[in-house]
């Protein structure tokens, strides 16, 4: 019990407290989350991805295994969710909403700081690869599912190439493969923006949770939350040995697989006219319950 309490207070509570500051800013000062989100998306996150990768000791082959693990975990939990939903006879829009909240996790503004606090800088590099892969799937598979065929795959692919974090990873791979040493005047601004990324992500998390509303179908919210927090974690445990993940790579991958639903799913729901109250409900409930599941998971992985 003391170990669980220590993990919660040292690794998870700091994240919740910073997110709570964001919640208060949105609730009482009406701070614009959209502007901060854009700053984080277009300036901070690419620098975070670039800096973490170029300063790590991870090989390209290891990065590839983590990316494949992320793809299989995201698509695998989506397949499991689809099979479970078949006897429920949900309408097409609700089924699409269920799939996106189960498949796409909050690996960025929650998963990255948690991985850093719990397992250190090297684990953060692996978690970043998982996060970028998940983002790519969100803006391709996620948009395709949310749009229910209303938008083309070409439009979804274009949206991926609008994501600066993709270019941050691509440039990092170029630097790693060519063994280039960047000059200090280049690296220092990148490191400054990198240092600002995680605090900004946590503020955004709290500001977006402030928008949560009571869902109309709480039983469906509970089912989707269980799939996201528990079944996805179990799938990660099953898949990790298949991709040769061990040590900090396994720790980072399993943490990412067990994260609550991504806040971006609420944006997809609004954009493509899905049940936004259901999606927001899953985001809120899964985030609210995640400290309990993640504390136990971290304790197991730290043994």
Query: Is the Cβ–Cβ distance between 248 and 123 less than 8 Å?
Result: yes
* Dihedral sign computed on CA atoms, order 129, 141, 273, 162: positive
pTM above 0.85, yes or no: no
Residue 103 token pair: 């498949």
Residue 38: which of 183, 170, 180, 162 has the closest Cα? 162
Q: How far apart are CA 70 and CA 103, in angstroms?
A: 11
Instruction: Report the length, in residues, of the chain.
Output: 303
Q: pLDDT digit of tens for each residue in the chain (303 aa)?
A: 677 788 888 888 888 898 899 999 989 998 887 788 788 878 888 888 888 888 877 777 888 899 999 999 999 999 999 999 888 888 888 888 899 999 999 887 788 889 999 998 889 889 988 988 888 788 778 877 777 645 555 665 676 677 787 788 888 888 888 888 888 898 999 999 988 888 887 888 788 778 776 767 888 999 999 999 999 999 999 999 999 999 999 999 999 999 999 877 876 776 677 777 788 889 889 988 999 999 999 999 987
How far apart, in Å, are the Cα atoms of 169 and each of 59, 129, 200, 203, 248?
Answer: 14, 8, 20, 24, 20
Query: Is the Cβ–Cβ distance between 76 and 198 less than 8 Å?
Result: no
Alpha carbon distance, N-terminus to C-terminus of the chain: 14
């Amino acid at each position: 019990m003391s170990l669980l309490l220590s993990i919660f207070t040292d690794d998870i509570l700091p994240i919740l407290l910073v997110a709570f500051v964001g919640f208060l800013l949105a609730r009482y000062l009406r701070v614009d989350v959209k502007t901060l989100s854009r700053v984080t998306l277009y300036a901070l996150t690419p620098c975070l991805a670039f800096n973490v990768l170029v300063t790590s000791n991870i090989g390209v082959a290891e990065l590839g295994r983590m990316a494949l693990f992320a793809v299989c975990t995201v698509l695998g939990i989506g397949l499991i969710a689809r099979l479970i939903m078949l006897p429920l006879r949900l309408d097409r829009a609700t089924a699409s909403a269920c799939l996106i909240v189960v498949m796409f996790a909050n690996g960025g503004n929650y998963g990255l700081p948690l991985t850093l606090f719990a397992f250190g800088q090297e684990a953060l590099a692996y978690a970043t690869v998982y996060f970028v892969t998940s983002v790519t799937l969100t803006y391709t598979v996620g948009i395709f599912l949310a749009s229910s065929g209303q938008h083309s795959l070409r439009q979804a692919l274009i949206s991926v190439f609008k994501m600066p974090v993709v270019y941050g990873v691509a440039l990092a791979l170029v630097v790693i493969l060519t063994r280039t040493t960047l000059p200090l005047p280049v690296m220092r601004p990148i490191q400054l923006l990198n240092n600002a990324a995680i605090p900004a992500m946590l503020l955004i998390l709290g500001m977006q949770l402030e928008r949560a509303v009571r869902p109309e179908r709480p039983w469906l919210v509970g089912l989707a939350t269980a799939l996201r927090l528990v079944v996805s974690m179990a799938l990660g445990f099953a898949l990790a040995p298949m991709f040769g993940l061990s040590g900090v790579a396994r720790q980072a991958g399993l943490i990412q697989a067990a994260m609550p639903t991504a806040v971006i799913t609420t944006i997809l729901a609004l954009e493509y006219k899905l049940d936004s109250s259901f999606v927001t409900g899953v985001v809120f409930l899964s985030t609210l319950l995640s400290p309990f599941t993640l504390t136990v998971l971290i304790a197991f992985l730290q043994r």
